Amino acid sequence: MEIYLIRDGRKWPLTLEESQEKARLERPVCECGETGVVGTGLQYSSDGRNYEATGCCAGCKKVLGRIIAEPDTVFGAREDDAVLNGRCRVY
Query: What residue ranges bind Zn ion (CB under 5 A)?
Result: 30, 32, 34, 57, 59-60
- The amino acid present at 68, given as its one-letter code, is I
Closest CA to 66 of 87, 86, 31, 37: 37
13 vs 33, beta carbon nearer Zn ion: 33
The answer to whether the beta carbons of residues 64 and 5 sit under 8 Å apart is yes
| Closer residue to Zn ion in complex, CB, 34/52 | 34
Least distance (Å) from Zn ion to the CB of residue 60?
Answer: 3
When the beta carbons of 34 and 50 are compared against Zn ion, the nearer one is 34
The count of residues in the chain is: 91
